[in-house]
A = this chain, B = another copy of it.
């Protein structure tokens, strides 16, 4: 048994769960995984018992319970200071936090209308008012980060960081809903999709048996 346990939802649907899971995997941090299938008869009860907010993801570290995807990432960055979970340079780290926070609180039109469903292909669906504005802003963030800070690799700040973990669910959404992007964004999506843990997550999502109708989300 590892000291860290990450409680997540369905891999096919729980975009917020993917973020800290991917971060842990990318940096080779050992953890136990606990899964609460969402939108089932007993989900609400299980979530209330596992999480102060009634939501996943939740990280347990001995007696400490940390919830919320971004707060978990910050906790891990502090717990493993020798690992570059955030970019090392102060300016880059400040911008990485800004784009991560913007993703964390924003893009509600995209999140509502293009909910994560990573094993599906639904091109053209989800084109509601406001969605294109969200797509435009997200891809502008990606182009700006890649241009200003991306030189050392193919992630937003060169090497993989928390910022990439925060946007990873969006790359699944763009693939599922067939969103066309500029070449820089398309290359970034491809690089994120190619990460081994992303492929593992998708493979696990494909064998999950729960099906949630769009109207329940």
Q: Give A51-76 as 1s and 0s: 1 = Cβ < 8 Å from B's Cβ atoms.
A: 01100000000001011111100110
Note all chain B residues with C-beta closer than 8 A to A33: none
Task: Report yes or no: B68 in contact with A105, Cβ–Cβ below 8 A.
Answer: yes
Oligomeric state, in copies? 2
Give the contacting residue for A71; candidates B53, B68, B69, B97; CB below 8 A. B97
Bound CA span A97–B76, Å: 12
Task: Report yes or no: A75 in contact with B101, Cβ–Cβ below 8 A.
Answer: no
Closest-CB distance, A22 to chain B (whole angstroms): 17
Note all chain B residues with C-beta closer than 8 A to A74: 74, 97
| A67-119 interface with B by 8 A CB criterion | 67-71, 74-75, 78, 90-91, 93-95, 97-98, 100-102, 104-106, 108
Which residues from chain A sit less than 8 Å from chain B, CB to CB? Answer: 52-53, 64, 66-71, 74-75, 78, 90-91, 93-95, 97-98, 100-102, 104-106, 108, 137, 141, 144
